[in-house]
Amino acid sequence: MERVYIGLGSNLAEPQKQLRTALLALDNIPATQLVAVSSFYSSDPLGPADQPRYVNAVAALDTTLPPLQLLDALQAIELDQGRERKAERWGPRSLDLDILLFGDRLIDEPRLQVPHYHLHARAFVLYPLAELAPPDLLLADGRRLDALLAACPFEGLQRLD
């Protein structure tokens, strides 16, 4: 089993409900177990400003699936929940699921980069991740979670009850 951290985000079609439904689907991926879920956070959108705020969270999974097979399962969940892939990056979406960390693996493939390539600059990922992972977590690329948090202020975020 490897510990994997998944970033969840939605700003369309009842975002909190989208995340709750996605969490149930994550727990039903074969050879995978949902271990923990962070709080939900409301965050400012990246990209076009004329879109609703996002709801974000991080989930911890234990899995025996290889990375690309897990990615395929995540993309199937996105599609099942109405995700439409468009040319516009960072636009509104019903569901976004990203592999943030995959054990101690460093992955650089055309379809998947782990640690997630913008992890260090996204408070809406780092703060929920810090709820689940130890603060001295060493990422596969040598960076420490606590150092990333110190360099990424808690701006534009609101923890939801």
Q: What pLDDT shows up at residue 141?
A: 93
- CATH number for the region 2-159 comes to 3.30.70.560
Catalytic residue among 72, 96, 136, 143: 96
Catalytic residue among 98, 105, 108, 144: 98
Identify the band that residue 46 occupies on the pLDDT scale cut at 50, 70 and 90.
confident
Lowest-pLDDT range of 2-6, 55-59, 90-94, 129-133: 90-94
- Can the peptide bond before residue 115 be classed as cis, meaning omega within 30 degrees of 0? yes
Note if the pTM is more than 0.85.
yes
44 is catalytic: no
Q: Are strands 41-43 and 157-159 parallel, antiparallel or unpaired?
A: antiparallel
141 is catalytic: no
Tell me how many degrees the CA angle 29-38-79 measures, rounded to the nearest 5: 40
62 is catalytic: no
What the block records as the tokens of 41 is 């956070």
